[in-house]
Chains A and B, each alone.
Chain A
């Protein structure tokens, strides 16, 4: 009898634990707090990037911060540029018109890996450079061009995002794909997040079938979120732990009948039509940073709006207080006298790529056009500029290179006070 009771209780509790879902984080972008930049960030530093004939570039497509340099990919001039952490130009790596570069910082001291993908030849070549931009021996030719970048989790262990994506007119296969893979050096170590392509046509066909791995590992672990169901996971080389689930308002989700369908024919016709691509639909979550009760993340959309403002649909980058359940958005934050009333982000660009986190700071960028336009518009507030900015305004013009913004989030307790 006691044994039966024991077994019954174990089964019962295990059933409950299995069925027990994680805590839901209810995020409503319409109800995001604003406030002053100085309420959330203890320090805002502007680092102008040196503008010379050789270093002039268009826009920050991808920003990577190494121990002593900024590595910037620019799609306008087809180049990867290296600047020191104070903005002085070092050198650049040029690619051709038909190529598109991707940078990975090999934190185990190897340097920076630049993978250049040629979409005409559909092949990639990876080369290694020092963090100051000098070419190092060792060239890799990668055959499968759809491979995403690998991110170093801890020494010798890399994490890579894979996808279950299949093309228009292709049929989904009845096989399991893992959205995350951990590699030890070059061999597969562990796989996480299995999804069967056939039973998940919406996620695999319509939503790109993968995780946006635009996050920074810290102390061997990283946070990721799955599209469509929006579970937040903490992953390290050995384990993956489901922490929370993001829940968005009904009008920000995909229509229920599309999200739940298992019929590939419906997915195929939607893909050709593009009717489902509304600006309001949230397709994924990226740039996730978490420390104690503070969670920072960015929502991904299938269609980004190019204007900015305080309306719900223009909010992309958020800070969430897990303890209180309150949400604040970077787009609603207003600059104040502590940062000279200057913007901290570039609307459209940071809606798509979010902020980059590296060693305790968040980085974004602002074009010189904005820097000079805002300076003119805020003259009568008598802003106080740092010596670096004063020099920048004297020497440069609105056609100069963009400016890097380095932000330090206030400590956990202080941030929670802000909202």
Chain B
């Protein structure tokens, strides 16, 4: 076995040596880059070879079974109470090997008290221990011999434990082992100490061993086929926010028991939700775990990550920090915690370098998170917690772009705009948040406060060339701009729900109500500078040069929103009248916003060599918005319920809401002084049908109709034109009306509720249209400059649909998950070009099939095939259709080799094409080899190779029937890296 490993490792090293990193290639040469030396076909050959190598080995699993040829014996019996002649069907039966006290097999009896254990080894000294709460345990020494393979112990009587008697077993044999599992009322408990495992095992390793538990390839956990809705630790949610963080970090030694219980419905035993709880040992109520890692590689690539989590009976704290220059971006603390798990294998790895991202980023991120539980043993109905977090992230992105935009302006004339630009963006974002929640049977209160600070600094350099299909090159421009911006924000969201007090008789005025208050403040301070040169090749009189300075580009917005709901309005108005049991509630939302902008602009005057104020763009604006939505909600439900069989019904909800919206806008530039107010009716309704057939399936149908209004902003009514933007002139439309949207949606879902092998289907169909749609109306002048303003049009509509199918299958230790997702949408978007209506018809379709396979915790494999099709054409003509096709194939896997070695790899193939141009394709292959060392497996060395085939390209490919843009930008290139990690862990004192 060791020899095979050596072969594996040397094979990999050989491959790696073949591809030493080459000099970085300039963007322009990407198209002509040489094909990489390994073709895709030979890659797959190597991959299959690895698989064969694995399966040919004798995998020494961690099962309880000994060599298969020795197992033929069995033991059976019936457990009874000695005094009162009844079956002890909650007793626990375990079989140990006398030599080393290791657990061989265990079971619970059936309702008749009968149990049977098989297969068992021959000629081995065994110890059978039968125990029950309140009784003295019985220990029997047994050896299965060839001539007596099936031992029938008949009725086994247990004696009650006397309160004064201190002996615990019948015959004074000291039993050092612990009962593996028992039923404690409605809860099934597994005692961790009964299972001997590797000393570095985690809680997840233990759960894999327990009968009934399945851990699927995508990380989901089920017990007897039912998904585990939540995994708690000592009754509380754990650090990291997801079940795998607790299961993969907590050491098995710290676990006293794993409890599984159902929140059952007593009338329908087939219907229940499953929860699991990790109960920690008394002396392990506190603990810490973490990861510190540092990596360095080719192209001066580096990555440093750190994570520490500490938990105690009431307080939990976690801290993270990360920095690298390889586009590994993290946006929240929980993501970093998840990727720092002590045992992090699995087919999907989310904290990867982002090879699709534009540009190259050097992010720095870090944060602290804490949770304090006021109540030591909270329940769903009674809890009080305080949570706080601070997160800082700093991005340093350099982008290098080269694009060509092709626009159809007339029957046979088009414009071609070529743009080469580089951009450096440094952004620092800090976020501080605190959440307080208090819930009991009288009320629920949540208070969330959030503050953030964002500093960004951008520098941009670009050159453009404009060509016309008749005349050739007609103009060029170049510009240099920089901007700095400081954004501060503060939000407070509070919500209070008061429950109705139980009264003995009818009370007309209910004291239940809900109130939410949201406040947010956002303040931006900015400045920017722009130097632009414009040369017109057809009319030199139009040449211009700008040097514009925004000494102030500030804005401030304050938003207040109150939502008030009174659920028992019907009782108040109609008293005891039942009115067919239709519920009536009153709901209103009141929003008050204030938005200000303050711009100070100056242009460089060549004559005086000074910056002179630009009185047109120097502007203060002030907008006051009032948004009030009062409404009445009517609801009615019907249901039918048959014990042990089904629960089905209908729910109807109708919201009769009207909206009063008022905007008052004042500015120094008088063209931006306007105000308007509108009164619109925005109802919505939902009809749903549910049918839960216990133990078989659960079906839901939903029909939803809603409306909303988009109100015009100053950018549509009266924008100011910044002339440094040569190619685009926005114009205002003072007569614009609000856009009224309508949305109709149908949803269907099917979930199987059989005890094994879950399956589900989801279907969604939606239709949307709008009255007074905000359509773009554009004119192009002889210089190719586009003027555009917004007009109201009819004719906008779109249809979309999606289907999602999933099926999971478990065969012994193999799990298979299959998923199919398809999506299609089609729409008509009206647009005016040179006063002619050109409606473009869009069609988008995509499909994705994936398969996830896993074998115990040793091998996981995921394959995915996706297809994306996009078509856009003008309704009037049949020419000028824009079609884009993207295919992607992705295969990833992770293999655990013996002796602490893990090999994981993912390869994705991407092919995209527009219309009939030659398709662009590239394959990205990443692989890594990880080795754990130290007695506690706390040390790790990882060798990774990213983009082994050196094909990464970042392609820009967008467009519609009128205009298409295609180009490239710089992106992360291949590199190799060695990373050292250390996992400090301590459970208990």
Contact = CB atoms under 8 A, between A and B. Distances in A.
A34 interface: yes
Contacts of A309: 89-90, 183
Nearest to A374: B111
Interface in B639-679: 640-645
A76 B81 contact: no
For the complex of A and B, 7 pairs with smallest distance between CB atoms: A34-B86, A332-B86, A306-B266, A59-B643, A58-B643, A58-B642, A369-B644
B266 A35 contact: no
Given A59-B643, A306-B264, A33 B504 contact: no
Interface residues of B, number: 30
A10 interface: no
A167 interface: yes
A81 interface: no
B918 interface: no
Nearest to A368: B644
Interface string A156-171: 0000000000011100
B87 interface: yes
13 contacts: A34-B81, A34-B85, A59-B643, A59-B644, A76-B640, A309-B90, A310-B88, A332-B87, A334-B86, A367-B643, A369-B645, A398-B644, A419-B85
B186 interface: yes
B266 A167 contact: no
A334 B155 CA distance: 14
A296 B709 CA distance: 72
B185 A167 contact: no
A227 B112 CA distance: 34
B24 interface: no
A4 interface: no
Interface string A329-343: 000111000000000
A348 B185 CA distance: 14
Contacts of A419: 85
A399 B645 contact: yes
Interface string B487-506: 00000000000000000100
Interface string A292-318: 000000000000011101110000000
Contacts of B536: none
A34 B645 contact: no
Contacts of B84: 31-34, 332
A58 B112 contact: no
Max count, chain B CB within 10 A of own CB: residue among A305, A306, A310: A310
B792 interface: no
B83 interface: yes
Nearest to A315: B86
Give the interface SS of chain B, mostly helix, strand, loop or mixed. loop
A34 B112 CA distance: 11
Contacts of B18: none
B568 interface: no
Nearest to B639: A97
B578 interface: yes
B90 A33 contact: no
A367 B86 contact: no
Contacts of B270: 369
Given A32-B84, A33-B85, A35-B85, A120 B578 contact: yes
Contacts of B89: 309-310
A233 to B, nearest CB: 29
B300 interface: no
Nearest to B638: A97
B267 interface: yes
Contacts of B645: 58, 369, 399
Contacts of B641: 58, 76
A334 B112 contact: yes
Interface in A207-227: none
A56 interface: yes
B110 interface: yes
Contacts of B85: 33-35, 419
A305 B83 CA distance: 25
A399 B693 CA distance: 10
Max count, chain A CB within 10 A of own CB: residue among B83, B264, B640: B640
B626 to A, nearest CB: 43
A255 B901 CA distance: 62
Contacts of A31: 83-84
Contact of B266 (A168, A348, A367, A399): A348
Given A35-B86, A334-B112, A307 B185 contact: yes
A250 interface: no
B267 A59 contact: yes
A307 B186 contact: yes
A167 B641 CA distance: 31
Nearest to B641: A76
Interface in B495-539: 504
A77 interface: yes
Nearest to A35: B85
Contacts of A306: 186, 264, 266
A168 to B, nearest CB: 6
Given A34-B81, A334-B87, A57 B578 contact: no
Interface in B619-641: 640-641
B186 A77 contact: no
A377 interface: yes
Interface in A29-47: 31-35
A76 B87 contact: no
Nearest to B270: A369
Given A34-B81, A310-B81, A377 B86 contact: no
Nearest to A56: B642
A367 B642 contact: no
Contacts of B578: 120
A9 B876 CA distance: 122
A33 B643 contact: no
Interface in A169-206: 169
Given A58-B644, A76-B641, A310-B87, 19 more contacts: A32-B86, A33-B85, A33-B86, A34-B86, A34-B87, A35-B85, A58-B641, A59-B643, A59-B644, A76-B643, A120-B578, A305-B185, A307-B185, A309-B183, A310-B81, A310-B86, A333-B86, A334-B86, A369-B270
B121 to A, nearest CB: 25
A58 B641 CA distance: 8
B505 to A, nearest CB: 8
A60 to B, nearest CB: 9
Interface in B781-838: none
Contacts of A57: 642
Interface in B79-128: 81, 83-90, 110-113
Interface in B49-91: 81, 83-90
A338 B912 CA distance: 74
A398 B111 CA distance: 20
A301 to B, nearest CB: 14
B90 A310 contact: yes
